[in-house]
Structure 1
Amino acid sequence: MPDTPAWLTPLAVRDMAAKLNRPDFHRWAARARATGGCAQPIHLRGSVEYRDRATGELLHRYSTAREPGGVLRVACKTRRASRCPACAEIYRADTYQLVRAGLAGGKGVPASVTQHPAAFVTLTAPSFGPVHAHRPAAGGAVAPCHPRRDAGRCPHGRMLSCTTRHAPDDPRLGEPLCPDCYDYTGSVLFNALAPELWRRFTMALRRRIAKAAGLTLRELGETLTVSFAKVAEYQRRGVVHFHAVIRLDGPQGPATPPPAWACYEVLADAVHQAACAVTVTTPDAPGMPSRSLAWGEQIDVRPITTTGELTDRTVAGYIAKYATKAAECTGTLDRRIRATDNLDALPVSAHARRLIAECLRLGRMAEMADLRLAEWAHMLGFRGHFSTKSRRYSTTLGALRRARIEHNQRAHETTTGRLPLTDEDEVLVISHWRYLGQGLTPGEALLTAALTGTPLPPLNPLSATERRPDCPNWS
């Protein structure tokens, strides 16, 4: 069990011993395994009945009264690895299958899709001020951060140079060389408007491809489809950039080949032109005139092949890795900022605290209301979906979940009241459920990790006791 010492407190040990000595421990352990080792399971109380729709005969009844503590635990199914590593791993695996199916076929996508031009595209954010960075050099060496012989000092008296060779885990990475010079307003607004900038990029991309082929947009839609899957990644400085797989298909999606002129070179050229052309304008507020935001100068476009350095497996694994992460990797929280929170007391980095404060300040402006910056301050202004795809790229996460549920139902007898039904069965399901809470006590977290082999979640400011169900026989 990784990170066990941080969890091994006297309270956790006593809690674990009490759970092990309970007469219903084996039933509790079975339910822990059934949730896949979920670190933040949802607790429900209730019952479900299956009755014949024609006769009203009771076919089966399940009640949580038979469960330990009278509570049924179900997996939280979050995508955040900081909340629940076990459920996030399932989400990561599903994202991997979704992305790879669009490059290698499978999951309803024909194998011929491997012949379609595809590119791995990275769109970055612009600079909002120099920050400390890890700079790998040739031969495994590390280059100095910001070596400037004639850099001088900024208006606040700080040197705009750093000769430190930062390690990859240096806590200063992403921190501005001068926090007072850093453009916190621009950083927050870029995060808030990044989804709109991506939308405009996809529209411009289609226009550029149509222009290269000498077609109108309508004519392009009749001969070619631009499909994509993307994921957002937070850089250490607290701004998002996007990694995307962009593929050219025929008019019916991956089932049809693109026209002969639609090659990788056309796609790569259109990506560069579209990324450099699109901008988004920020709202105009008192004392803060509107400004134009665009992608950063670093635009990376590389071909995806079945063999070589950048294969379908490599790309799918890279995108899936970031699908389970959020802004907490930049030193902020993995939960929303509450009205009762003391910003100065939050366990966040100094850089993240200033970004959060800027979100809250801008969120109080009526002109910024549509950006919902205060609500998404913990995400440093970004409120878009972390992983998205176009409709025809490949299968969906919902389809993958349904397939997994059907497989589990065929392979195992369920203990939560479901019956192995066929399409011809006419069964009336009557259920009554009540939400009681979410989470595990420290002792239960240790036992769950030991029983299932899943990692312990990182300790965070919201203790498990704050999520415990409100019921008298909770244990």
Structure 2
Amino acid sequence: MVLPALPNVDRMKRRIQSPDYRDWRRKVEDVYGCLHPVRLSGLWQITDKTTGQVLTRSDGRPAETSGHILSPCGNRRESVCPACSDRYAADAFQLMRAGLSGGSKGVPVTVSDKPRLFVTLTAPSFGPVHNRRPNNGKALPCRCGRYHHEHDPLIGQPVDPSTYDYTGHVLWQAHSGKLWNRFTQKLRRYLARAAGLTDRNFKDHARLSYAKVAEFQRRGIIHFHAVIRLDGPDGAVDTTPAWGTVELLADAVRAAHADTTVDSPELDDGQVLTFAWGDQVDVRPIRPADARRFEDEHGTISDDRISSYVAKYATKGTGKSEAADRPIRSRTQIEYLRTTEHHKQIMRTAWDLGAPVACPDCHPDGEHQAGGCACATIDHCARCDNGGLIPGPFDELNLRRWTHMLAFRGHFLSKSRAYSTTFKQLREDRQIWRFEQNLAELGVDADSVAVVNHWDMTSVGHRTAEERELAAAIAERTRQARKQKYANERTD
């Protein structure tokens, strides 16, 4: 049997030449080239509140949209959707910048005169790893005796995987958020003592404001970059008390860093692990907003570029080469991930530590005994409801849920309430701005109109691989155009 020859069709060219391409391209450009857009079907109208008639724009077009539209997926990860990651980074920049320089988002410009620090808190060592140590511009040999290139895949991998403490690594990572909360509590306590105040009265004299971002190191563990600011009791709008200085704040940070510990739940053998920060801590003052450099020869940080620096890490997840972009559903799935053996072992450890254990009433000897087990004599077990399993000692950590994040359970970007604005407020501000643009075009005010806005989700993602590739090209072109625009603005 001879199969007919298939025509050699350029599917990309065929998609571009299709009748609906211009309309599709316009919709994709509206979401800046999102790779996983949500397809919605419905109706949007601006009508006169009295007559119910749809209003007309100055060019004669009705103020309505119906049919199918695309909505951005909103994923923060650059490896999943570069377009939505860029938007998140832009919001993170605005959030950070408002708390550093003020003058926008309801934060006064006087905030730049307050005591502020840029602090980096690291994780402890769980075993020696390959690294590249620079010294006066020259690389020092690794403890394995080799000189590693900057992009050597061995960097961050254990020198001896058999002695690496994977259990401690996973459990420290799972407790890192709690460790940060304990650190801020200790920091307030040390500040209160230095000012001669009680812990309870500290909030009546000063407020600790901060924004932090988590960054994954190449060994698969996070450290925190944080902007810490000392305000008056009402936050950014209030004057810092006279005793609040940069030096006092820096001393309190170092003291709190050394004194912060968190205990883990009991292990199977009854042991309790105590977690603390790593020995390395970087505490640097932040200069006023008129500084033009990120760091001077004295190690002082300026806020001219620090917001971009923090926003960059806010959009970095575990990365393409470190872990998974989506939750793990089974232990077998870990073996198929395109990552290093070290990161796979971190995920295996997290998955195993999060597993349920045998019910001690049904199976007093551990696992089910095939030759004769106590569960056969029990009509009903009140502890496990005859399921045979109960939650393990680390059930509260939800390790299996966060296996794809290498057991890190916190937000990559978080802040105190009084630091600056919020992501929700930034999104609402955009919606209000767009609504006011439409009202200005129609020549009406908000009190005289009614907005009909009803949409139902029909699908997620692009329909073909060609559409996805074209959307990626639109996203990259949009990114480059934005970079060029910002570069020109800085030059001007």
TM-based fold match above 0.5: yes
AA aligned to 2:128 is: P
Residue of 67, 86, 89 corresponding to 1:89 = 86
Distance in 1 (alpha carbons) for counterparts of 2:46 and 2:98: 38
CA distance in 2, matches of 1:258, 1:452: 44
Moved more, 12-21 or 302-311: 12-21
Look up the match of 2:469: 446
The amino acid across from 1:394 in the alignment is S
- Structure 1 residues 341, 43: CA separation in 2 closer, same or farther (over 3 Å shift)? farther
1:49-448 superposed matches below 5 A: 62-64=65-67, 71-107=68-104, 108-138=106-136, 140-146=137-143, 162-287=144-269, 289-306=271-288, 307=291, 309=295, 310-328=301-319, 331-339=322-330, 341-365=332-356, 366-410=392-436, 422-427=445-450, 429=452, 431-439=454-462, 441-448=464-471
Instruction: Name the CA distance, whole Å, in 2 between partners of 1:455 and 1:137.
Output: 40
1:32, 1:38 within 8 Å by CA — same for their partners in 2? Answer: yes
Secondary structure of the structure 1 residue equivalent to 2:448: coil
For the 8 Å contact 1:15–1:442, the answer to whether it is kept is no
State the structure with more CA Rg. 2
- Report how far residue 14 of structure 1 moved: 3.5
Structure 1 counterpart SS, 2:305: helix
Contact 1:47 1:433 in 2 (8 A): no
Q: TM-score, normalised by structure 1?
A: 0.82
Distance 1:432 1:87, change over 3 A: closer
Tell me the number of residue pairs that the alignment of Structure 1 and Structure 2 aligns: 421
Q: Distance in 1 between matches of 2:445 and 2:164?
A: 62
Shift of residue 13 of structure 1? 8.5
Question: Runs of 5+ in structure 1 lacking a partner?
Answer: 1-11, 65-70, 147-161, 457-475
- Larger RCO (CA within 8 A; separation ≥ 6): 1
CA distance in structure 2 between the aligned counterparts of 1:13 and 1:174, rounded to whole angstroms? 46
Taking a change above 3 Å as real, the CA distance of residues 274 and 419 of structure 1, as seen in their structure-2 partners, is farther
**Structure 2 residue 15 is matched with structure 1 residue 19:** yes
Aligned-partner residue type, residue 35 of structure 2 = A
SS of the counterpart of 1:403?
Answer: helix
Counterpart for residue 30 of structure 2: 34
Contact 1:236–1:329 under 8 Å retained in 2: no
For residues 179 and 451 of structure 1, what CA distance do their matches in structure 2 show?
43
Instruction: Give the letter aligned to residue 219 of structure 2.
Output: R
User: What amino acid sits opposite 1:177 in the alignment?
Assistant: V
Q: Which residues of structure 2 form unaligned runs of 5+?
A: 1-7, 56-62, 296-300, 357-391, 480-492
Question: What TM-score comes out, normalization by structure 2 length?
Answer: 0.80
Over 3 Å counting, the alpha-carbon distance change for 1:264 and 1:430 in structure 2 is closer
Q: Is the 8 A contact 2:327 2:404 kept in 1?
A: yes
CA contact (8 A) 2:216 2:317 kept: yes
Q: Deviations over 1:77-120 (max 9, x none)?
A: 22111111111112112111211211111222111111100000
Q: State the 1:58 CA deviation.
A: 5.9
Mapped partners of 1:212, 1:49: distance in 2 = 60
Q: CA deviation at 1:298?
A: 0.4
Counterpart of 1:22, as a letter, is S
How far did residue 45 of structure 1 move? Answer: 2.6
Deviation at 1:167, TM superposition (A): 1.9
1:326 and 1:38 map into 2 onto residues whose CA distance is 18
Contact 1:206 1:226 (C-alpha < 8 Å) held by counterparts: yes
TM-superposed CA distance for 1:171, in Å, is: 0.9
Q: Is the 8 A contact 2:208 2:229 kept in 1?
A: yes
Distance 1:291 1:455 in 2: 49
